[in-house]
Amino acid sequence: MGGRAFSFQAPLLWNQLPVWIRETDTLSTFKVRVGFWFSDKKRRRMNLDAFVQFCADRGVEVVEIDLTQPLGPQGPFDIIIHKLSDVIVEAEHNSQSQQLLDNFQSYVSAHPDTILLDPLPAMTQLLDRFASCQKMSQLNSSLRDWHICTPPYLEVHSGSDAIKIQMLTHKHILFFSPQVCKTRVAHGSYSHEMCLLFSAASLADIHPPCVLQSFVNHGAVLYKVYVVGDKHCCVERPSIKNFPSGPCDRKTIFFNSHQVSKPESNSDLTSLDEQMVALPPPSSDAVAALVKELRAQLGLALFGVDVIVNISTHTLTVIDINIFPGYEGMPQFFSSLLSHIQSVLDQHASAGSS
């Protein structure tokens, strides 16, 4: 299955860019200075060198920040775009990463007029799946009228929690349906390593702390909603096939979610065992409502949401939220990002003059 994109807003045309961008030629003095920091892998995947040139052609200087050097001489910056997830996660057990993070935060504190995309506190909350699942669960009430929900989940803090779940299941107090087990840390390559459990006995295969999220049959189709400020699009990806509900003696299935859902995926896990009528994609209005709610709830402008459509109820089901995703398949991404940068700067300038 390919990576079909559904753009719910018209692609950004040249004449829709701010006037100051369209009327700036390549020889003009840069009017805006943007700093960025991403891991080398992220930089390559997003083709940031091309974005730097794209912005330069429109009078915007984009420079890479070196966290190992003092930030003062590298500035000033009107805005900083970043994905410091790597550094934040590593800082918990690495003093060098903690120092880099401290230096960055000190610079931001000393330069309050520099805007961060996105704010560190807003971004950090999604690095913990316990916290992100709590955020997603709020959608069950706030978006009930849109028939949008999130699956039930359990936090497993330690091995003793897993044992308690087994006991409750054996006593028929808790019904065990297939569960997707995800690491608590929601960043890094290891965070994509997941497993699908089919019985309480399979809990012996998990490694707490982790999250157990009820598996929802969705016809092996996942939709990645990419958000850039007030613009978003929905990209179709392959996903895990349907399984019978209820416990069974099937062995635990271990998988890498990134490999399963990449556009060119050819995994046995994504091949349906039976023919079924394809479900229509999520409605544009429902996705717009979801994006609006999450932007307000999270305080983020650059994020992704993984959604599926329940094959039984046709309910739009939110299964994950991602910090600054890869935006693979989003049309006009560079234009959308540059437009959002200008929008944020305009709002900041208006607030400062009022």
Write the CB contacts of 130 (distance below 8 Å, at least 6 apart in sequence): 155, 184, 209, 211
According to the annotation, is 221 in a ligand binding site?
A: yes
Annotated ligand binding at 288? The verdict is no
Q: 222: closest CA among 282, 140, 300, 301? A: 282
Of 129, 54, 106, 127, the residue nearest 339 (C-alpha): 54
What was the pLDDT predicted at 354? 63
- Asked if residue 326 belongs to a known ligand binding site, the reply is yes
14-124+332-353 folds as Rossmann fold (3.40.50)
Q: Kindly give, in sequence order, each residue whose CB lies less than 8 Å from that of residue 320, ignoring residues fewer than 6 positions away.
A: 132, 305, 306
Answer yes or no: is 137 a known binding residue: no
The reply to whether 217 sits in an annotated binding site is: yes
220 is in an annotated binding site: yes
How high is the mean pLDDT in each 10-residue block of the chain (354 residues)?
52 47 46 94 92 95 96 96 93 93 96 96 95 97 97 95 88 81 91 95 95 96 98 97 90 95 89 84 97 97 98 96 94 96 91 71
Structural class in CATH, domain 126-323: alpha beta
Alpha-carbon distances of 327 from 262, 296, 302, rounded to whole Å:
12, 21, 10
Residue 129 labeled ligand binder: yes
For residue 352, the model assigns a pLDDT of: 72
**Residue 164 known to bind ligand:** no
15 assigned binding-site residue = no
Model confidence, pTM: 0.89
Please give the distance of CA 55 from its chain centroid, rounded to a whole number.
Answer: 24
Indicate the DSSP class of residue 41: H
In the chain, where the domains are located:
14-124+332-353, 126-323
Q: Is residue 172 part of an annotated ligand binding site? A: no
The burial class, CB within 10 Å (0-12 / 13-18 / 19+), for 208 is middle
The reply to whether 59 sits in an annotated binding site is no
Q: Which CA distances in Å does 131 have to 122, 136, 211, 225?
A: 11, 9, 11, 20
The torsion angles phi and psi of 60, rounded to 5 degrees, stand at -115, 125
User: Does an H or E element contain 264, and which?
Assistant: none
Has 83 been labeled as part of a binding site? yes
CA angle 262, 232, 141 (to 5 degrees): 95
